[in-house]
Chains A and B, each alone.
Chain A
């Protein structure tokens, strides 16, 4: 019965995507199907987290093949946490997208958005739950192929170039991923994470290091780690707000999750951790500096997204319990707040008709106090000021960095503080220009677009920004769970025995 809990988040959205295609002619049916499927995933994820936290790792062997031969789905605390938070984001973004659709086109239009969006969420969930490298590849492909369709839907002349860049970059990393799988299989004859961890211990350390670095490169492209980040600020801002929000919230974090899972369970931690720490440092600094230079608010947020990937790498690179707890908390916090901020700025762009700071009329705070409040909370949260969830995650990370016996860890902790201030500066700039001050010219435009802000869309934003506040309110239990999750992730033997069965 518990096995079913693991299967639902990955399989139900896929099934619903098929149904959604079938019922596309029936009024409201697509919306109901998407809502029911993602709602069921959310409930399932909550139950899964409770079950996993109480009883330990749940393993589902598809087709009944004993591992390492068959496909196994594995849910430990880390997977369950990621599934739960991602389910919240998928629901909120769905709400927002529905609101936007109804506001723009009226209630009757059917759309290819729903099936594709459901496939995307299935891919994301499968990536969290898979127990082998090849299924991870398939999950990434599900997710990326759906994202290719989402980013190129109704593409216009100025967006087609950015979409091309996105697809070609994604494909290149896909091809490298296949190459990695071939190399890993040639070296060990298995792709199961638990089994791989054992067999790679006998492989020559140089070979193991090379495989680990290739994996870092593949995921580096997907998770936008500097210097492999160039495609992200180019392509994300061109997509519609809900698409950008779900990409920014989920896709890169799936990469981070895969990195955490594989670098701990498969590759021994001494192989690439120094590279990881340096990459984390460069990612944090370059991303933040890039954000300050931007004029378009969505590009600014995309650079901040790149920058904050560095924090999660930092936590992973420390390879200590505190560091990993910080990385997990940071990933959970960042999924919600980044998606929330993209949605809020999407609403601001609808309200003002501009995404460029130079053309923003200003005065949003007076015209739209709710939007301004949401942005302020999200911005403060992203910058990591107390008392919100960003602060909780950052303090845990900094504590891990300060406690590390390597001086690079301490340097990174310092850099993390500096980058927080740069983040705050970049967001304060948006606040000052777009929200403060009297409306300059274009007042009439603002009045006209007032009606277009549907309550459904603001509810979706409130849900995501509120999730950050809720995480801070329940900081005690949350960090306790994250702490247990990190302990389990580092305890590789218990992961192996849970997956491979009790024979050892």
Chain B
């Protein structure tokens, strides 16, 4: 299959920009990253279908038209990414209303557990297990 260099370069740029944004702290940038990578993925599906062919009208020989399957898949993928992006936008709005900022935070409980053993109040669990074990 001949490879369209322009598309490949465009895809590389879109993917790297998208994943760069995905790794940011700001929720808005993460969202834009997801939108970008989503476009990249859909474009990639098109590129996977091979070079463009004739429009599929009556009389076109079957071999000359574009492969319709990647287009159908891209359509489905577009609908899905669109729906989920809308959900994510609503959630981001909710998050900004509830938390008053749009920063993506670390796992709170995880940080608590990491710090717990150093503090003097040892978790109750450890103490009572020792009592029962001896």
Contact = CB atoms under 8 A, between A and B. Distances in A.
B77 A432 contact: no
Interface string A271-294: 000000000000000000000011
Contacts of A437: 128
Contacts of A113: none
A181 B73 contact: yes
Contact of A167 (B42, B87, B105, B110): B87
A217 B49 CA distance: 24
Nearest to A235: B107
Contacts of A433: 124-125, 128-129
A452 interface: no
A295 B87 contact: no
Contact of B116 (A158, A178, A295): A295
B42 A172 contact: no
A182 B108 contact: no
B47 A182 contact: yes
A149 B124 contact: no
A178 B42 contact: yes
A291 to B, nearest CB: 11
B123 interface: yes
Contacts of B37: 172, 175
Q: How large is the interface on A (under 10, 10 to 19, 20 to 34, 35 or more residues)?
A: 35 or more
Interface string A148-165: 110010011110111111
B98 A358 contact: no
Nearest to A425: B129
A162 B98 CA distance: 13
B123 to A, nearest CB: 6
Contacts of A157: 98-99
A174 B84 contact: yes
B113 interface: yes
A185 B108 contact: no
A171 B44 CA distance: 17
Contacts of B28: none
Contact of A432 (B70, B116, B132): B132
A233 B27 CA distance: 21
A233 B105 CA distance: 15
30 contacts: A138-B76, A145-B83, A152-B91, A155-B94, A156-B98, A157-B98, A160-B94, A164-B27, A164-B91, A167-B91, A168-B34, A171-B88, A172-B22, A175-B34, A178-B45, A179-B44, A181-B45, A183-B48, A185-B48, A185-B69, A185-B70, A186-B1, A186-B48, A191-B69, A295-B113, A296-B109, A358-B125, A429-B125, A429-B129, A437-B128
Given A161-B95, A186-B47, A433-B125, 8 more contacts: A134-B73, A145-B84, A155-B94, A160-B94, A160-B95, A178-B38, A183-B44, A437-B128
Interface of A: 134, 137-138, 141, 145, 148-149, 152, 155-158, 160-165, 167-168, 171-172, 174-175, 178-179, 181-183, 185-186, 189, 191, 230, 233-234, 293-296, 299, 357-358, 429, 432-433, 436-437
